[in-house]
A and B are shown apart, each in its own frame.
Chain A
Amino acid sequence: MTFNTFLRHLREGAKNVFRNGWMSVASIVSIIVSLFILGVFILLVLNVNALADKADKQVQIRAYLNLNVDQKLRETVQKEIAAMPEVSKIDFISKEQGLEDFRKSMGEEGKDLLDGFDKDNNPLPDAFKIEVYEPTTVPFVAKKIEALNTSHADEQPIMKVKYGKGTIETLFKVTRAVRNIGFIFVAGLALMSMFLISNTIRVTILARRREIGIMKLVGATNTFIRWPFFVEGTLIGLIGSLITVAILFVGYDRLAASVGSDISLQMSLLPVNELWQWGGLLLVLGVLIGMWGTTLSIRKFLKV
């Protein structure tokens, strides 16, 4: 193909987008709708994942000791827990330190409430703060620590083992569900918009059958006939995905800003500048949908 011919194809393809007016608009809108939903899902999954990651790191086990546990037993228990292969770190938190931490976490409001408590009437038990290598092992490790009461049946050193029971499991489930539903949804939508485009192009081809017939008559190769349509589909995909990415990023940026400034929510969305690659992916996808849609629709018409 000569350079001039290539330019001609680009020009013709671009002209066709305008010439077909509302059909092009319909295709572009269908791409916007499906890519937009895809984009929302991607953003959702990314943020839930990030949230889950953060929560993972914060997962720790607290094992509270019975009040009758003496120092020797306490050290034995600590050693036994530290020896568990899943455990990465264990810290002892004395009841005094526990009270101090509690005070801090209550802030100004709780100051009065805890005023009456000091070294002598501290109601809190001693505790261990345990961290594990793998967040999924948390429930298992917790059980193992509880089981220490069985091996030290006489002393019963463990009063209670606590961890974010339920929260983590739910979070994992939600992440997985969002991801799966999202993929099914998105695959369906991508397929739908592809067919919409192929349909649009088919309608325009039907309208231009005569023109194609004349092109063939004067000896145009199929490749030559196909190119402008291909350019047209690609442009429709590109325009659709550019609009979508713009809407998504501006909208997300606003949302992230408003969420970030709202202290009561205690959370923040991933910053926009970490998401450019996903924007790029949407662009590529839009273009591919456009190309594929065209290819689907012309093939049939080029058989003589």
Chain B
Amino acid sequence: MIEMQDVWKTYPNGTHALQGVSVKIDRNEFVYVVGPSGAGKSTFMKLIYREEVPTKGQISVNGFNIGKLKQRKIPYVRRNIGVIFQDFRLLPRLTAYENVAFAMEVIEAPKRQMKKRVMEVLDLVGLKAKANRQPAQLSGGEQQRIAIARAIVNNPSVIIADEPTGNLDPETSWGIMQLLDEINFRGTTIVMATHNKDIVNTMRKRVIAIEQGNIVRDQLRGEYGYDF
């Protein structure tokens, strides 16, 4: 599903974000990516959804060689990857419904199908009743649920979540985690970078720890392993 072979990433300023990372993530896995700030977690995530290109090495996602992808093919690969961020990244002037529908508009889905599907995922994230509210009228947790709805609306095979609970209080975070677990249960691979010790230690999943650009630990049903 996702495979990296000796991947290096050096930024123009000389930072070696990743130094020879090799990893394989299978279909339907749930993987935590942990490590100190600046260790290369974000770069690791960005390489998967082709926000960054590796300096060296190969990455394949869903069978596509991401590093060598032609510019105009990128959008089509991204449609199969849902991305969730710490800061939600919703469009403030659109309603919850429109924010989710937006992802379907972009791939030019038929209108009738769009309405049905958007309501379906809003129901899944538990916000069907607030479909007509704008982000500013929703709580942080609700906004993240909308972002998740947007990420899954096109049925991607992978969800990349970069610290999705980073801005949320513990209780809300648990709600989000249950939702992600549910999505994973339905067959979507989830790769999630996090600093949340409690979540990792409670919801035991595969843990990949990155330090100074290298994978230093990779365990099934692992622990957070840090004190921060």
Contacts and interface: CB of A to CB of B under 8 A. Distances in A.
Interface of A: 1-2, 4-5, 8, 210-211, 213-222, 224, 304
A2 B108 contact: yes
A19 to B, nearest CB: 9
A210 B88 CA distance: 12
B78 to A, nearest CB: 4
B116 to A, nearest CB: 15
Contacts of A216: 75, 78
B76 interface: yes
Contacts of B71: 304
Contact of B76 (A1, A4, A211, A219): A219
A1 B105 CA distance: 11
Given A210-B89, A211-B91, A304-B71, A218 B111 contact: no
5 contacts: A217-B78, A222-B75, A224-B75, A224-B108, A304-B71
Nearest to A221: B75
B30 interface: no
Interface of B: 49-51, 71-72, 74-79, 83, 89, 91, 102-103, 105-108, 110-111, 150, 154
A238 B89 CA distance: 34
Contacts of A218: 78-79, 102-103, 106-107, 150, 154
Nearest to B156: A219
Contacts of A2: 108, 110
B136 to A, nearest CB: 15
B91 A214 contact: yes
Contacts of B110: 2, 4
Contacts of A214: 89, 91, 102
A217 B105 CA distance: 13
Query: At the interface, is chain A mostly helix, strand, loop or mixed?
Result: helix
B105 A5 contact: yes
Nearest to B50: A304
B177 to A, nearest CB: 22
A1 B108 CA distance: 8
B12 to A, nearest CB: 15
Contacts of A8: 105
Contacts of A4: 108, 110-111
Nearest to B153: A218
A22 to B, nearest CB: 18
Nearest to B105: A8
Contacts of B77: 219
A219 to B, nearest CB: 4
Q: Which 10 A-B pairs have the closest CB atoms?
A: A219-B79, A219-B78, A218-B103, A220-B106, A221-B75, A219-B75, A5-B108, A218-B106, A217-B83, A2-B108
Contacts of B91: 211, 214
Contacts of B89: 210, 213-214, 217
Contacts of A221: 72, 75
A2 B106 CA distance: 11
A304 B71 CA distance: 8
B79 to A, nearest CB: 4
Contacts of B102: 214-215, 218
A205 to B, nearest CB: 15
Nearest to B104: A218
A304 B74 contact: yes
A183 B192 CA distance: 62
Count chain B CB atoms within 10 A of each CB in A211, A217, A218 and give the residue with the most: A218
A135 to B, nearest CB: 60
Count chain A CB atoms within 10 A of each CB in B51, B72, B108, B150 and give the residue with the most: B108
A215 B79 CA distance: 11
A304 B103 CA distance: 19
A215 B150 CA distance: 11
A219 B108 contact: no
A213 B102 CA distance: 13
A84 to B, nearest CB: 71
Contacts of A220: 75, 106
A261 B76 CA distance: 68
A304 B78 CA distance: 13
Nearest to B93: A19
Nearest to B106: A220
Contacts of A1: 108
B118 to A, nearest CB: 13
Contacts of B51: 304
Count chain A CB atoms within 10 A of each CB in B50, B75, B89, B111 and give the residue with the most: B75
A213 B78 CA distance: 12
B106 A219 contact: yes
A163 to B, nearest CB: 69
Contacts of B72: 221-222
A56 B7 CA distance: 80
Nearest to B51: A304
